[in-house]
Amino acid sequence: MAGQAGLAVLNVLATLVGVGMMIPGLIPEKDEHEPVVRIAAGLSSDESDTTSGNQPGVVLYDIMGRTVGSVGGKKQAIKDGSFIDIKVPFAKGVGTKPAEYISVANGGDDALCIAYIAITQPDGTNKAWYGDIAKACGADWYHSLLKTGDDDYQPSCIWIDRNRSNGLRFQGLGLHFNDFAATEERAAQLNENRDLMCNAAPRFRMYEDFNDKDYIPFFNPPLNLEPKTLTDGDPGAVMDKSRWTMPKEGPHVNKALIDQGPSRRKIRRQSNGPAMFGEASNSSVVIISTSPNHSARELCESETSRGFDFVSSTENLFCDMEPKKLWPVCNDTTKSACFDMVSSTMKPGKGLRGRDSASGQIPPAKHYTKTVHWN
């Protein structure tokens, strides 16, 4: 465990905060001359049901919010289930200051679902952050097949999208890597007080109106974490907005970003218009997963999940994602008003006009052009 301490990263699992390990293969290799940032897209199993998207713009900042280096966004895509390592040249005159803060903004109109972000400094130190943290803080999210660690943990991915299509709300994010080192004490503290993780703008925030030219806030003076537990010694200081500081006035200093919270934009149901995944419309593809980590119930009961209709074979549940409605999967005892995994269709109920005799609701007509199996 000690030898991998630098790879530790905080996981947020639904309502629990736990400690997880980033395996070495998920950390970018060291470059002796500049920091390397890895952005990973959530994994799906086919090119047309993709969580891939445009390469985002990345900006790194030091402990006092000064720009360390930046790389603009590009229309070049990060392949589905893959990653891109972005070398960030040091800005002129800054020397080799270690980066502590990072902003990530979508590089085009092709939405990207980020499973994790990792950084390796020129001295070899590294840190990482999972999309589950943003999911727990109200970001738009979806399941992925990406597996990490010895236990094949599958982090959720979170959406950023420049044109905010299909109800996606956020164009980018900012975070302070150093605040997400994992210890049991740190996990317990953030689980007990989610405001310390989700509502402290310099620590982490999703941004609705954001590009790679915008600065992000930082803590001034810097926070003092307890040396052994890495917990906040003074939680009040974290939430003290007088310490949330933007750089001095300039063309890209938007002080409104300090107060721009993750839930200002109304959450809308996703439409059946242009898909977030590949070329197909959201209603034309259904994903059937055998993974116990993938819950159809969780997708349907979450206001912020976005993506294809989804079946969990372990739960025997089907989530119709547009209205966020759960239906049972057909089996030997349930033969009507259920999802048939053989034909990938909904069977009508036995009531009047095909209504479900138990709920009185009419099962939706589903005609998928493609069924994708996640194993």
pLDDT digits (tens, 9 = 90+) for 79-89: 666 788 999 99
Most confident of 120-124, 188-192, 207-211: 120-124
Predicted local confidence at residue 24, as pLDDT: 62
Q: Which carries the bigger pLDDT value, residue 16 or residue 248?
A: 248
Most confident of 2-11, 67-76, 124-133, 315-324: 315-324
Structure-block tokens of residue 23: 């395996």
pLDDT in tens, 98-149: 999 999 998 777 788 898 999 999 999 998 888 999 998 999 999 988 877 6
- Which of 23-37, 70-84, 170-184 shows the lowest mean pLDDT across its residues? 70-84
pTM attached to this predicted model:
0.85
13: nearest Cα among 182, 177, 161, 174: 182
- Cβ contacts of residue 1 below 8 Å, gap of 6+? none
- Which of 89-103, 248-262, 303-317, 332-346 shows the lowest mean pLDDT across its residues? 248-262
SS3 state of residue 131: helix
From the CB of residue 174, how many other CB atoms can be counted at a distance below 10 Å?
25
Predicted local confidence at residue 122, as pLDDT: 95
pLDDT-based confidence at residue 254 (cuts at 50, 70, 90) = low
Predicted local confidence at residue 225, as pLDDT: 93
- Residue 168 reports pLDDT greater than 80: yes
- Residue 33 reports pLDDT greater than 90: yes
Torsion of CA 328, 329, 330, 336, to 10 degrees: 30
Predicted local confidence at residue 180, as pLDDT: 84
Q: Which carries the bigger pLDDT value, residue 90 or residue 78?
A: 90
Predicted local confidence at residue 17, as pLDDT: 36
pLDDT-based confidence at residue 281 (cuts at 50, 70, 90) = very low
- Which of 83-92, 188-197, 276-285 shows the lowest mean pLDDT across its residues? 276-285
SS3 state of residue 299: helix
Predicted local confidence at residue 199, as pLDDT: 94
- Residue 259 reports pLDDT greater than 80: no
SS3 state of residue 58: strand
- Cβ contacts of residue 72 below 8 Å, gap of 6+? 57, 107, 212
Predicted local confidence at residue 315, as pLDDT: 97
